[in-house]
Amino acid sequence: MALKISTVGNSTNIKWHSCSVSKLERQELLQQKGCVIWITGLSGSGKSTLACALSRSLHSRGKLTYVLDGDNVRHGLNSDLSFKAEDRAENIRRIGEVAKLFADAGVICIASLISPYRRDREACRAILPEGDFIEVFMDVPLQVCEARDPKGLYKLARAGKIKGICA
C-alpha cells in the first residue's frame, strides 16, 4: 500500500492511504467502468428528472448508479453552506469530490445540480481521469423553467424576495 503525503488545508500531516484493492479490480467486480455524468442547467430545466430516469434505465441494464442531487446533498453533507458565491463554489467542489469517490469505486455517478460556472465544472473534471467526466447541459429556455418553477424560486425572484438567483 502506497502512502501519499500532501498538504491539505493548513495541515501537513494528512496522508492518503491507498488500498490493495485497485480501481480496476472494483470495475471488474461490477463489470462496469465508473464515471461521472454531470447534469447542469437552470432550476426547473429537468436535471433531477433526467438523472433519475437515466439511473433507472442503467439499473434495468444491470449497471450500478448513484444520483447525487444538488438539493439532496445540501440536506446533509453541504447543510453548512449558504448560497453566497464562495459557498456555491464549495458545494460544487464537495460534490465533485464525492462523485470522484463513487467513480473510483466503479459506480456510475450521476451528479445533478445547478453549476453555472465553467471554472467549477472544469475543476471537477480535472480530478478525474480523461473521459470519466461527461457533462450534460439541459438547454431549456428560461420561460419554460419559470413556468415549471418547482421550488418557487422564479416567483420569489420576480417578487423581489430573493436576489442573485442562479436559476
As a whole number of angstroms, the distance between CA 140 and CA 114 comes to 13
Q: Which three-class secondary structure string do you get for 105-157?
A: CCCEEEEECCCCCHHHHHHHHHCCCCCCEEEEEECCCHHHHHHHCCCCHHHHH
Measured over the CA atoms of residue 91, residue 88, residue 146 and residue 139, the dihedral's sign is negative
Count the alpha carbons within 13 Å of 161 in the hemisphere toward its beta carbon: 6
Q: Which helix (H) or strand (E) is 17 found in, with range?
A: strand 11-17
Question: What residues form DSSP beta bridges with 137?
Answer: 40
Q: Which of 45, 48, 112, 115 is catalytic?
A: 115
Check if 20 is active-site. Answer: no
Residues catalogued as catalytic? 115
